[in-house]
Amino acid sequence: MAANLEGRSLPKAAVQSSSAHRIGERRFYLSFAVALVVAVFLGFARTFFLRAWFPEWAAAHGAPEAIFYVHGMAFAAWYLLLVAQASLITMRRTAWHRRIGVASAGLAVAIVALGVAASLTAARRRTGFFDVPLPPLQFLVVPILIIALYSVFVTLAFIARQTPQAHKRYILLASVVMVEAAVGRWPFGFMRAMSPVPYLEMPSLVTDLFLLPMLAWDLRSRGQVHPVTQWGGLAILSSHLSRGLIAQTAVWLALAEWAVHLLGP
């Protein structure tokens, strides 16, 4: 028999079951973090990580402005930190995990600031966003909504840091919503195909598929979907379905034009 937090004993089978659940949970979050890193590397390999090996592709499809190099490093650091934090929990280095988590708030702020600046920089180009046929002021709604949702999820994760089950799900949602930037650059032909879901572009649809493992884990581990997964997932899906309509409104176009001119005439 083993003692629980209240001093009462627990059956050995219950202790083993609880231990197995914790091990399974750690493996799930670490595996999910690694999958996101692979997705990011795959999307930005030719224009950022392996740029020297793909000079022609990088010159035609990679952003030349210096801010994108800084933004790319911060973006990559977030996903590497995600793996590092999940690894620390797997190794039971909880104290280090918490210290690094508090310090990483500064990285999140930098990602938001750099993301907004990079998005406005791309929207001001005469050619607009690379490999995007939409007018730049219309497409600007995509990165801005991504950054907005990321900001909300990271803020909620920081607030809920004393509630581990909510905290870790908010962090995953923040990472999922941002991964669309990489998914849209995957070197696969089907990424340019017509989406089978109306009003949902293929990169958005593939990004939404990253929510399925979270749903599956919730059902397996809890028997029901966690509220953070449910409402956060719906927020991501709603943003994907609505941003095409938002981009065409006069209010958005006026706001986007004003924002772009903040960087200069």
Q: Where do the domains of the chain lie?
A: 27-263
* pLDDT tens per residue, range 44-100: 999 999 999 999 988 889 899 999 999 999 999 999 999 999 888 888 788 777 888
H-state helical runs in 1-140? 12-44, 55-61, 66-90, 94-103, 105-124, 136-139
**Residue among 164, 56, 156 at smallest CA distance from 108:** 156
Q: Which residue has the higher pLDDT, 215 or 2?
A: 215
**Contact yes or no for 32/172 (Cβ under 8 A):** yes
What does each C-alpha distance from 204 to 85, 126, 211 come to in angstroms? 26, 26, 11
Mean pLDDT score of the chain, rounded to an integer? 89
Provide the 3-class DSSP secondary structure of residue 121: helix
Q: Which residues of 168-196 are buried (b: 16+ CB within 10 A; e: fewer)?
A: bbbbbbbbbbbbbbbbbbbeeeebeeeee
Helices (H), 1-45: 12-44
d(CA 260, CA 119): 9
Question: What percent of the chain shows pLDDT beyond 90?
Answer: 69
Q: What is the dihedral of CA 68, 71, 76, 80, to 10 degrees?
A: 160
Task: Tell me which residue has tokens 């930005």.
Answer: 44
For residues 72 and 65, the answer to whether their CB atoms sit within 8 Å is no
Comparing 33-42, 55-64, 84-93, 110-119, the range with the smallest average pLDDT is: 84-93
pLDDT at site 265: 67
180 pLDDT tier (thresholds 50, 70, 90) = very high
- By CB atoms closer than 10 A (0-12, 13-18, 19+), residue 235 is middle
Q: Running DSSP on this structure, what letter comes out for residue 2?
A: E
